Amino acid sequence: MNEEDNKNEHWLSEWYNKCRYKYIDLVGDFGGRELFVIEGDSLIFKFIYDPKTDLLNFGQTISGGQFLALTYLIENLLKKFKERECVFHIAFFDVHKSIWNNRPKLRIAREIIIDHLKSNTEISVFEFKDWWTEEWKNYLDNMQPSFILTGDGSTEHLEIKAEKDNYNDEEIDKSISKIATKNSLKLTIVLRAFMFFSLHDRDKPVALLPGMEFRDSRAHAYVFERGTNSNNEAQEKSSVIKNLIMKALEVYDEKSNWFKGPVENFKLTTLNKDLLTSQECSYVWSNGGKRIALILLSLTGVLCNNSDNRDFQYLAKIFLFHVILLDYLPLKLRAAQPVSNGNTIEAFLQNFYAYSAKVYRSEIFLQATQNIKNNNLYDFIDTRLFASLIQCRYDEVLNFNDLPNEIKQQFDACWNLLSRFCEKNGLNSLDIDYIEIFKENFQIENIEINSSSSVDNREAKLHPFKHEFFEEYFEDMNLKIPEDSNVKIDKYQINWERLL
């Protein structure tokens, strides 16, 4: 970005700061019961970049928010609109992928949310290349939405503080550690440019998601209209702002940090195509849905391109087992504690997310899953359950040969299919018997917590978080455990009947 670009970026920020707005009821006073459009990435941004508001810390490796929680929060917000008889579409723009390209977990989360909204809701979801394309203009001309609901790239609790992030070694906000980087924060200018373009080039009023409140039958938001925010200088800046954003998307996109080398070059061999059409594969797909297809193909990439990493093979079997259990264990039984060998766990998960993002967009995955009716990606993985099973394996509580019949059949079928995928991609065998010695590398020692809170290891609670506001009211719900307590999980078996 040169000096002229910096001046234009400053001008856009100044324009936004000087914009006049009204805080009104979208439902009763602004045509909310007529068609309007929600910018899709702003929905995701609202919950991922503002972890304090909804107690979702998606950046925590183990005990933070899970994919199912993110899906729930987005659906719950949309439900509030539906309850007020609002009519809306959701629009996603491919260029906004760059906001999430700093971390593969965020990129695959975006794909999963779009997939879920299209498959499991009755909401109309549209995807466009960008917001200056003729396709988007034609949509607005034909559908005539009354306004556009979007974010502006800000959050209510975004405070920049110095903290080193292990992934990119950047100084970022503590509350969004492992989510934001300097470049991804700079890319939020894209959302303000979208507002500018919507007002001046598309002549559409804009309402803001940040600061929005639902009260009774009303939905209050900050609204910007063109008439009060237009002048000659703004009219002349349209092409300049578009060029600025195109350059920002190129300069600040961080996909190359992880989408490179083995991940970028990973391709399933032609031998896999025959396996994907086999009865063995059809059986696994019919039980596990689209989720298990993405899991197995992604693990194939992780294991085949890390063939010398025996820790990954050990973790892969537990990871696959945790995926099978997702359909059997309700959320309240998915306990969360991370392992002491956090670097290896995080490296495994980072690899998995990267290959998932790669595989999801591959032609072979699209073909393999086109007829799968069970689209269950919304509950993609749960790292809390994964960590708990790692500890169960360490404690010799979890025995893969001693499982309920239904679960064992599914797990064995999935593991055997994964082994065959790996064999066809150059990994001769998953020698699990040999690598059992690696379980000693993984033992839970402490609880991973949000940097803004503190949790006493000796204090069990019925509510899933600790916050000073609730302590006065929920104090009697705290279960005090004596310091000399030796209560442990049965080290010889898991009571599957009780769990399931």
330: Cβ–Cβ under 8 A, 6 or more apart, which residues? none
Q: In this structure, are strands 87-93 and 124-128 parallel, antiparallel, or unpaired?
A: parallel
Give the position of tokens 């402490």: 446
Q: Per residue in 210-262, pLDDT tens?
A: 889 999 899 999 999 876 656 667 777 888 999 999 999 999 999 999 999 99
CB 365 within 8 A of CB 103: no
- CA triple 228-234-238, angle to 5 deg: 130
| pLDDT at residue 337, as a whole number | 56
Burial degree of 376 (CB within 10 A; 0-12, 13-18, 19+):
middle
What type of residue sits at position 394? Y
Q: What is the DSSP letter of 171?
A: B
Q: Alpha-carbon distance 461 to 450, whole Å?
A: 16
Q: Alpha-carbon distance 290 to 109, whole Å?
A: 15
Give the position of tokens 């690899």: 351
What type of residue sits at position 229? N
- SS3 at position 207: strand
Q: Alpha-carbon distance 361 to 364, whole Å?
A: 9
| pLDDT at residue 329, as a whole number | 84
Length of the chain: 500
Q: Per residue in 19-76, pLDDT tens?
A: 889 999 999 888 778 999 999 999 999 998 876 666 677 877 777 778 998 999 999 9
Which one, of 41, 33, 30, lies nearest residue 194 by Cα? 41
Q: What is the dihedral of CA 308, 314, 316, 318, to 10 degrees?
A: 180
> Domains along the chain?
3-161+175-255 (3.40.50), 270-442 (no CATH)
Q: Kindly state the percentage of the chain with pLDDT values over 70.
A: 77
Does pLDDT of 100 surpass 80? yes
| pLDDT at residue 473, as a whole number | 45
- Integer CA distances (angstroms), 118 to 86, 125, 356, 410, in order: 18, 6, 19, 28
287: Cβ–Cβ under 8 A, 6 or more apart, which residues? 410, 413
Q: Which pairs from 130-136 meet CB under 8 Å and 24+ separation? A: 130/93, 130/94, 130/95, 131/93, 131/95, 131/194, 131/197, 131/198, 132/197, 132/201, 132/242, 136/91, 136/93
- Integer CA distances (angstroms), 188 to 20, 248, 258, in order: 20, 10, 20
Which one, of 200, 47, 272, 31, lies nearest residue 281 by Cα? 272
Does pLDDT of 448 surpass 60? no
pTM (predicted TM-score)? 0.85
| pLDDT at residue 360, as a whole number | 95
| pLDDT at residue 454, as a whole number | 32
Q: Kindly state the percentage of the chain with pLDDT values over 90.
A: 50
The tokens describing 12, both together, are: 């856009």
- Integer CA distances (angstroms), 93 to 45, 365, 390, in order: 14, 22, 39
Q: Alpha-carbon distance 311 to 406, whole Å?
A: 28
Q: Around Cβ 5, how many Cβ atoms within 10 Å? A: 15
Q: Per residue in 330-358, pLDDT tens?
A: 777 776 555 555 688 889 999 999 999 99
| pLDDT at residue 237, as a whole number | 85
Band of residue 490 on the pLDDT scale cut at 50, 70, 90? very low
Which one, of 186, 192, 316, lies nearest residue 247 by Cα? 186
Q: Alpha-carbon distance 480 to 458, whole Å?
A: 7
- Which one of 71-80, 264-273, 325-334 scores highest in mean pLDDT? 71-80
Does pLDDT of 492 surpass 70? no
Does pLDDT of 489 surpass 50? no
Burial degree of 226 (CB within 10 A; 0-12, 13-18, 19+):
middle
Mean pLDDT of the chain: 82
| pLDDT at residue 22, as a whole number | 92
- Integer CA distances (angstroms), 285 to 117, 273, 357, 373, 447, in order: 21, 14, 19, 10, 35
Does pLDDT of 177 surpass 70? no
φ, ψ at 478 (rounded to 5°): -75, 130
